[in-house]
Amino acid sequence: MPDLLLELRSEEIPARMQRKAAGDLRKMVTDGLVEAGLTYEAAREYWTPRRLVLDLRGLTARSKDVHEEIKGPSTKAPPQAVEGFLRKAGLSDVSQAHVHSDPKKGDFYVAHISRPGRAAEEIIADLMPGVIRTFPWPKSMRWGQASAKPGSLRWVRPLQSIVCTFGPETEEPVVVDFEIDGIRSGNVTYGHRFHAPGPITVRRFDDYVAKLDAAKVVVDADRRKEIILTEAQNLAFASGLDLVEDEGLLEEVSGLVEWPVVLLGAFEEDFLSIPPEVIRLTIRANQKCFVTRPQGREDVLSNRFVVTSNIEAKDHGKEIAHGNGKVVRARLSDALYFWKTDQADLPDLDMLSASAEKFGLDLKKPLDQRMARLDRLGVTFHAKLGTQGERVARIARLAEELAPLVGADPALARRAAVLAKADLQTEVVGEFPELQGLMGRKYALLQGENPSVAAALEEHYKPQGPSDRVPTDPVSVAVALADKLDTLTGFWAIDEKPTGSKDPYALRRAALGLIRIVLENGLNFSIDPINDVQVLRHQIGASPVAPEKLGPILSSAVRGGLFSQDTRALVAKAKADPPRWLNLIEEHDPSVSDDLRTFLQDRLKVYLRDNGVSHDTIDAAITPESCNLLTIVRRVEALGSFLDSEDGRNLLAGTKRAANILAAEEKKGTAIAEAVDPALFRDEAEKNLDAAVNQAEKEAGQAIQNEDFSAAMRALSALREPVDSFFERVLVNDEDQAVRANRLALLSRIRAATGQVADFSKIAG
Amino acid sequence: MSVDLPAHMRPQNSFQGLILTLHNYWAERGCIILQPYDMEVGAGTFHPATTLRALGPRRWNAAYVQPSRRPKDGRYGENPNRLQHYYQYQVILKPNPPNLQELYLGSLEAIGIDPLLHDIRFVEDDWESPTLGAWGLGWECWCDGMEVSQFTYFQQVCGIECAPVSGELTYGLERLAMYVQGVDNVYDLNFNGLEGADKVTYGEVFLQAEQEYSRHNFEYADTAMLLRHFDDAEKECKALLDAGAKAGEGGAHRMVLPAYDQAIKASHVFNLLDARGVISVTERQSYILRVRNLAKACGEAFLLTDAGGFSAAA
């Protein structure tokens, strides 16, 4: 069976786009061929910076002949209907249609269409221009003379040539001939830009790969990666070094070269005083080079780096290594300058004193100075959410308030929160934003901060994703929670919530982070009062009047809620001379935090489902008012294991039966007694059930008060036997209306008793 | 490269030799060799020979040196690579020829960079100039890990689709010269290629200027005056465009180039204000937007001129 070779050669394709583009090419071509009625045995894509390649094996040489019948209207149908049918079927006259008979419908027209199979070459030639024109590049461009007219071909960079050959292994393949915007397919490609710039005629994939290899082009990206990695490791090893592996960088570098040649470069050892993360990023981001470590050392870097060049240089790479070394040195000089500058005093310290006072900063310390400057410059966090300084002030207050709930020292939590964003004003973070947090920690340790405070500057950003570690040090936990809650309440307060696939402020990630911190640290508190308070902080704004009154009110509300006795007493006291913000508190609109709670519950559901909990168990255990994430999860877990037990399954069946009967009777309008009347019991089973329900309700209620959900489930399991025997022995639909109403009341008691633990009606099965 | 160049004219020895070699190379390939634009600009792209000539259907192949001013990059002459005034070598080819990459590589060989000795790479770089409302796709061109040029296929300029697309090459001349001369400090560059008492260095020509302009840009430029100048330039640009539109017959425009000068002026004044640190983060955006609006209006007017391919309706 014939094979197809396709090469689209262009000017340099951005490294980050190559792999996906080659995959898209395979998919578009194979989908198109299959749709046209061909089959194939295997398809594999390859790529280099200058080409996308498809190797398609075992393609059928022709598509099959197709015979089909298109049913038309009745022979008595009006002429327009018949004309429409002829158009659709591609017939020019009704005489070309057949007449079929149907006992019900009578006579109707049928078009017999037969399409002869087409040669694969023809199909490919038809398919390719469309594939190329509609190729899904993330960004594409026009070029050259053709771009003077609208609708000219777009490609990621100018497309230079197309190889498209087709044929069985035993024969000379032919060129599948097509043309797009003046580029005509052929069997000629070109080798390495500098080593083998001449034309190369190719026949099929096997000789294509071999000839390009000889022309210093490795077509297979995975092989290029392997070459780079192995040679880099060997080169490092030979110099007593270990390569610091970096898969992302390896992927990128393999997309920058067609013929990888690995070399070792060096910089002065003095630069090793720069933190290793900064050195690695400097060399990686700007130079696309790997760094190395002395063998067996994890904590330090060596002054040698690995550069991957694209040529076998005449001088074996001496100039290249030398040139790269020069650039690396210049970059590291900048980095060293940044690192030193960040540890030195800022100019104009006297301009920062107001900000310093606001945050209790010590202007003798460099990081404190940076925080003061962040505030002083009024750097915007978000147009509607104010400045970074205002944000830090809110986070600091909340972190201090949360500290007792998470077992942290409030003073340390506050200090950490105050410094948490200071490193945004450092030169290193300005250059490498991804080092935010880490640099704060380093600078904090250098100025002698408490280690928990220093750690929190880095860890409050965690977890960054589902696989990232969750902070456990209480100070970090307090600041991380305060930061995330402030972000969530802020964007909720200005009504900028995630919608569909749009989540520009990564609020889902913040919510998941919040949930994981709470659960993995076993933190037991209700989020509603906290959300209320932080929403209020956003609504009241940055510089409230009478802050000495506001602070205690909000702190009290974090502890006990906005309507607790303590809070109300403080609010009452403030009324003597009511500040402007008092209205916002007294007439607090809970809808914002309610909505945020629903969002958090939804994220929690997603999180639980991802952890294998079935969605109906989750739905049964969560009520809209549930606002303590930890107890929700405990309830879900207890319910899950209860439902796995035999008692649980039976009770579920019994409860469902009770609920179904009730629902049916409620629909019919049957009378149901307000309360159960023991005098109307006719059977021992009724009496037993009533007693059991009362007992179970009391015990389960008590257990839930104590947040002991397993005990609540155990209490419910005592219901199983009485419920079963009730249904076995008692007919609910008694002739006596009063007895029936009483029995229905008893059933609704089952629903009520179980309902305080979980909504069993939401559980499937 | 012609081998018979005298030593002091060779790019390896001489900064001006490098410029002359590029001039010769691009002149041989049909470019008109223009002189720098006589106004302060932030990059060679601002020269009307690029910004405006990239618009419209007419062929245009030009090369020139453009002194470029980046007030914020001044370092009082103390940094070996950073300058507030430096030279860009700019080539614009409209439409871009199909072998533009080869032509570019040829120019590197002409100045003595052997592609089998040095690692030359095209690394993704999507170019964008918010102030000019312009963007294009292309690369940073690396030589042994150092960026020596920008290579861009203009897609949009002044907010207008380029039809046809131009290819733009921008060489950072000092950096390139440092590379071919093997010098680590820009001020040590040999300017004239001579030795001994006849040798003139880059520092002798420009060090004092760097020191003085850094002082001016960061400390002494009169910001109140500059703010006025910005407003004036903006007003004048709009006024000239209005007047030019009224003067033209059959929809033609008669005063684009003087109006565009005012847009350039506004842009440079903005850069000075930025260096003086009197523009806040939020204001910054709105200043950039104001310059872009001027550039866009100029670009649209340029399409109504002869050079922009306009022929008055009969």
As a whole number of angstroms, the distance between CA A289 and CA A327 comes to: 11
Report which listed range, A62-66, A572-576, B45-49, is most confident: B45-49
User: Rounded to two decimals, what is the model's pTM?
Assistant: 0.78
Contacts of B138 in chain A (CB under 8 A): 157
User: Class for domain B222-302, per CATH?
Assistant: mainly alpha
Using a 10 angstrom Cβ sphere, with 0-12 exposed, 13-18 middle and 19 or more buried, the burial of residue A103 is: exposed
Least reliable range by pLDDT among A180-189, A539-548, B116-125, B240-249: A539-548
Q: How far is the C-alpha of A61 from the C-alpha of B202, rounded, in Å?
A: 69
The closest of A61, A31, A24, A59 to A45, measured between CA atoms, is A24
Q: Which of A139, A149, A310 sits opposite B121 (nearest CB)?
A: A310
Q: CB–CB of A147 and B116 under 8 A?
A: no
Nearest of A706, A538, A529, A527 to residue A603 by alpha carbon: A527
Contact of A336 with chain B, judged by CB distance below 8 Å, is answered with no
| Residue count (chain A) | 765
Q: Would the pLDDT of A750 be above 70?
A: yes
Q: Give me the residues of A, 172-211, that contact B with CB < 8 A.
A: 193-195
Report pLDDT for A144.
96
Ramachandran category for residue A168: left, alpha or beta (phi over 0 → left; psi -120 to 50 → alpha): beta
Helix (H) or strand (E) holding A98: strand A98-102
Which band of pLDDT confidence, cut at 50, 70 and 90, is reported for residue B314?
Answer: very low
Residue B281 is predicted with a pLDDT of: 64
Residue A131 pLDDT greater than 80, yes or no = yes
Number of CB pairs, chain A paired with chain B, less than 8 A apart: 114
**How do residues A312-368 score in pLDDT, each as one tens digit?**
999 999 999 999 999 999 889 889 989 999 999 988 788 899 999 999 999 999 999
As a whole number of angstroms, the distance between CA A413 and CA A352 comes to 23
B165 interfaces chain A, CB cutoff of 8 Å: yes
pLDDT grade for B313, boundaries at 50, 70 and 90: low
Give the tens place of pLDDT for each residue, B132-155: 999 999 999 999 999 999 999 999
Contact (Cβ atoms closer than 8 angstroms) between residue A419 and residue A371: yes
Minimum Cα–Cα distance from A377: chain B residue: B280
Check residue B311 and give its pLDDT.
85
Buried b / exposed e across A734-762, counting CB within 10 Å, b at 16+?
A: beeeebbbbbbbbbbbbbebbbbbbbbbe
Cα gap A400→A380, rounded to integer Å: 24
User: What Cα–Cα distance (Å) separates residue B199 from each residue in A658, B4, B14, B141?
Assistant: 104, 21, 10, 31
How confident is residue B282, by pLDDT bands cut at 50, 70 and 90?
low
- pLDDT bin (cut points 50, 70, 90) of residue B301 is very high
Handedness of CA B109, B105, A332, A284 (dihedral sign): negative
Beta bridge partners of B147: B142
Contact of A307 with chain B, judged by CB distance below 8 Å, is answered with yes
**When comparing pLDDT for A202 and A650, which is higher?**
A202
- Residue B293 to chain A, least CA–CA distance (Å): 23
Contact list in B for residue A378 (CB cut-off 8 A) is 280
Above 70 in pLDDT, residue A758? yes
Predicted pLDDT of residue A72: 85
Q: Which of B80, B98, B117 sits opposite A314 (nearest CB)?
A: B117
- Across the interface, of B98, B137, B146, the residue whose CB is closest to A327 is B146
Asked if B144's CB is within 8 angstroms of A324's CB, the reply is yes
Averaged pLDDT of chain B:
94
- The answer on pLDDT for A456 being more than 80 is yes
Alpha-carbon gap: B196 to the closest alpha carbon of chain A (Å): 27
Collect all residues with Cβ–Cβ distance below 8 Å to A217 and sequence separation of at least 6.
Answer: A48, A191, A192, A196, A258, A259
CB B170 within 8 A of CB B150: yes
Mutate to test the interface with A, among B73, B79, B119, B152 (most CBs of A within 10 A): B119
Q: Where are the domains of chain B?
A: 7-217, 222-302
The partner residue sitting opposite B163, judged by closest CB among A148, A326, A328, is A148
**Which chain A residues have a beta carbon less than 8 Å from that of B144?**
319-320, 322-324, 326-327
Residue A382: pLDDT band (50, 70, 90) is confident
Q: Is the pLDDT of residue B249 over 80?
A: yes
Kindly tell me the number of DSSP H helices and DSSP E strands found in chain B.
8, 9
Residue A315 with chain B: CB contacts under 8 Å: 117
CA distance A97 to chain B (A): 51
Three-state secondary structure call for residue B227:
helix
Cβ contacts of B115 on chain A, cutoff 8 Å? 193-194, 311
A646-668 and A720-729 are packed helices; what angle lies between their axes, rounded to 10 degrees?
50
**Exposure b/e, A254-280, CB count within 10 A at least 16 = b:** bbbbbbbbbbbbbbeeebeebbebbbb
Any chain B CB within 8 A of the CB of A347?
no
Smallest CA–CA distance from A252 into chain B, residue: B123
Q: B241 vs A643, which has greater pLDDT?
A: B241
Q: Which of residues 6-35 of A touch B (CB under 8 A)?
A: 11-12, 14-16
In this prediction, residues B252-271 reach a mean pLDDT of 96
Give the B window 181-240 contacts with A, CB below 8 Å: 184
Structure-model confidence comparison of residues A78 and A185, the more confident one? A185
- Chain B contact for A145 (CB, 8 A cutoff): yes
Could you give the ipTM of this predicted complex? 0.94
> What percent of chain B is modeled with pLDDT above 90?
87
Kindly tell me if the per-residue pLDDT of B15 is higher than 50.
Answer: yes
**Option in A16, A145, A319 nearest B144 (CB):** A319
Across the interface, of B57, B95, B281, the residue whose CB is closest to A380 is: B281
Question: What is the Cα–Cα distance from B192 to B7, expressed in whole angstroms?
Answer: 11
**Which ranges constitute the DSSP H helices of A407-473?**
410-419, 427-431, 438-446, 451-459
Domains of chain A are 3-61+119-206 (3.30.70), 66-115 (no CATH), 221-341 (no CATH), 644-762 (1.10.730.10)
Per-residue pLDDT at A101? 84
List the single best residue of B122, B168, B283, B285 to mutate versus A (max A Cβ within 10 A). B122
Residues of chain B by 3-state class (helix, strand, coil), percent to 5: 45, 20, 35
Our CA angle for B97, B100, B101, nearest 5°, is 155
Q: In A340-367, which positions are buried (b, 16+ CB within 10 angstroms) versus exposed (e)?
A: eebeeebeeeeebeebbebbebebebbb
**In terms of CA atoms, which chain A residue is nearest residue B153?**
A143
**Is there a contact between B96 and A143 if contact means CB atoms under 8 Å apart?**
yes
Interface of A with B in 286-305 (CB under 8 A): 287-289
Chain B residues in contact with A160 by the CB 8 A cut-off are 98
- Listed by number, the residues of chain A in 375-404 with a beta carbon closer than 8 Å to a beta carbon of chain B are 378-380
Identify the band that residue A8 occupies on the pLDDT scale cut at 50, 70 and 90.
very high
Helix (H) or strand (E) holding A52: strand A51-57
Q: Does B114 touch chain A (CB under 8 A)?
A: yes
pLDDT of residue B244 exceeding 80: yes
Closest partner CB to B164 (pick from A12, A148, A287): A148
Residue A66 has pLDDT above 90, yes or no: no
Please state the rounded mean pLDDT for residues A397-408: 96
Q: Does B101 touch chain A (CB under 8 A)?
A: yes
For the record, the structure tokens of A259 come out as: 């013929």
CB contact under 8 A, A323 and B145: yes
- What is the per-residue pLDDT for B197? 96
Looking at the complex, does the CB of residue A676 fall below 8 Å from at least one CB of chain B?
A: no
Q: Find the mean pLDDT for residues A281-308.
A: 93
Indicate the residue of B122, B143, B145 with minimum beta-carbon distance to A287.
B145
Q: What is the DSSP letter of B201?
A: B
Residue of chain B minimizing CA distance to A12? B122
Alpha helices in A575-645 (DSSP H): 582-586, 591-610, 615-621, 629-644
Q: Which among B12, B137, B174, B181 is the top mutation candidate for probing chain A, defined by the most A β-carbons within 10 Å of its own β-carbon?
A: B137
Give the model confidence (pLDDT) of A415-451 as tens digits: 999 999 999 999 899 888 889 999 999 999 999 999 9
Per-residue three-class SS string for A359-388: HCCCCCCHHHHHHHHHHHCCCEEECCCEEH
Across the interface, whether the CB atoms of A320 and B118 are under 8 A apart is answered: yes
Q: What's the pLDDT score for residue A57?
A: 96
Low-confidence winner among A511-515, B56-60, B193-197, B280-284 (lowest mean pLDDT):
B280-284
Taking an 8 Å cut-off on Cβ atoms, the answer to whether B119 and A310 are in contact is yes
- Which of the residues B124, B149, B160, B281 would you substitute to probe the A interface, choosing the one with the greatest number of A C-beta atoms within 10 Å? B124
Mean pLDDT, range A388-401, rounded to an integer: 95
| Strand pairing class (B146-157; B160-161) | antiparallel
Q: For residue range B73-104, what is the model confidence (pLDDT) as tens digits?
A: 898 998 888 899 999 999 999 999 999 999 99
Residues of B in contact with A307 (CB under 8 A): 145
Chain A touched by B155 (CB under 8 Å): yes
Question: What's the pLDDT tens digit per position in A205-218?
Answer: 999 999 999 999 99
Q: Which site among A143, A154, A155, A315 would you substitute to test the B interface, given the most B Cβ atoms closer than 10 Å to its Cβ? A: A143
The domain B7-217 is placed in CATH, from the list 3.40.140.10, 3.40.50.720, 3.30.930.10, 3.40.190.10, at 3.30.930.10
pLDDT at A379: 80
The percent of residues above 70 in pLDDT, for chain A, comes to: 100
> A82-93: per-residue pLDDT in tens?
888 888 888 888
**Contact: B146, A322; criterion CB under 8 Å:** no
A547-568 mean pLDDT = 90
